Structure 1
């Protein structure tokens, strides 16, 4: 693994004779803005969760998780996409430097939370990919949003992209175990693995549908 100053140097594209500590400071500040954007978004989601639960006696958010990509992961993605390692390229071309995952009890909650969040006046919806309505070939289901969030700094306002994944408990269960299985097999999976995986995704979708129906009967 590269040392921090070398990673920072590679990202900023500065010459090696510039002091390493200054280069690292530039990179750290760049990623710090993404951290702030995640915190802004997490606060919005917690407010929606608590307020909706108080008014409607139902919390549409079961769990929230977040992360900001490490420099090594950002560099690796830039290389795979054939992009230069520049801060402005990262900001413009990469949508998943900052990510938030929202786990909801029911499918209806997924769309409700997405609508409430993207409808806020200071949140800009850049892109929506509905893998619930149209699952991926392997069975993956989730609603992906790319949002732009304002971050108010001491001397300026930065508008930062954050990827939001919204899914039900069943979808998250399937996606988490699918990831673990592929990691274990190092992508060398048995021939019938894809069909089995798609089959389990269909079972999870049926469970979501039945639980949604029960929820509607009670309300």
Structure 2
């Protein structure tokens, strides 16, 4: 009979609190593997859509795809920040973005095409949708955020696992990456005038995105 491996004692310190997860470490590793499987599954789905569009329409809607799993420390910090219980059950119930993929598209129209086709698939269920393109955040951030659930088949059971999917254009991603980098490098909160300048940059990037979209539509109709 196969036996599950047990790891040595491990403790994490989060916001001054010592969290003993020694007796749950194997369960956590299995949980993380589950989310990784769901993430890879959703990534494959959008890759297949991109390949189909290349073959059928000579157009790749997707420029590239990025994937990430939250680290154990990041998960615990989020639970602590939100005031949730530090347990595996709480992780599964409250953290919807453990697994995440970012789909970078060429054009705005591609964003909604990929999202619509993904959500039409039988084994993908929409949990949450936030359209920050139609309704940008106050700082100018634009992206389409989806949380979907998809089944993962294991040796002894089937689990429905959430995956966060962020879909944005190359231009949107460029602004978001630079804005994040500037905030990360700053040792103090950004002054209002800097925030306003970043917002102006976001609006300028959006204007370019919209113009490129219009040009793309004109060429597509030729």
| TM-score, length basis structure 2 | 0.90
- Structure 1 residue 92: deviation in Å? 1.2
3-state SS in 1 of match to 2:11: helix
Contact 1:11 1:27 in 2 (8 A): no
Contact 2:10 2:20 in 1 (8 A): no
Contact 1:11 1:75 in 2 (8 A): no
The answer to whether structure 1 residue 129 and structure 2 residue 130 are counterparts is: yes
The aligned residue for residue 16 of structure 1 is: none
CA RMSD of aligned residues (A): 1.8
**Which has more helix, going by share of residues?**
1
The aligned residue for residue 5 of structure 1 is: 10
Question: In the aligned structure 2, how far is the partner of 1:11 from the partner of 1:97?
Answer: 20
Aligned residues: 209
The aligned residue for residue 3 of structure 2 is: none
The aligned residue for residue 141 of structure 2 is: 140
- Structure 1 residue 23: deviation in Å? 3.1
3-state SS in 1 of match to 2:37: helix
The aligned residue for residue 64 of structure 1 is: 65
CA distance 1:107–1:172, change in 2 (3 Å): same
Contact 1:63 1:102 in 2 (8 A): yes
The aligned residue for residue 83 of structure 2 is: 82
Alignment of 1:145-164 (within 5 A): 145-164=146-165
- Structure 1 residue 186: deviation in Å? 3.1
CA distance 1:137–1:69, change in 2 (3 Å): same
- Structure 1 residue 187: deviation in Å? 4.3
Structure 1 residue ranges (4+ consecutive) displaced by more than 2 angstroms after TM superposition:
9-12
Per-residue Cα deviation, 1:4-37 (whole angstroms, up to 9, x for no partner): 7224x9475xxxxxxx4x6321111111100000
Per-residue Cα deviation, 1:117-150 (whole angstroms, up to 9, x for no partner): 1110000011100000000000000000000011
3-state SS in 1 of match to 2:62: coil
Question: In the aligned structure 1, how far is the partner of 2:25 from the partner of 2:10?
Answer: 5
Q: Which sections of structure 1, spanning at least 5 residues, go unmatched?
A: 13-19
The aligned residue for residue 208 of structure 2 is: 207
Question: In the aligned structure 1, how far is the partner of 2:82 from the partner of 2:165?
Answer: 21
3-state SS in 1 of match to 2:183: helix
The aligned residue for residue 26 of structure 2 is: 25
Q: Which sections of structure 2, spanning at least 5 residues, go unmatched?
A: 1-7, 13-17
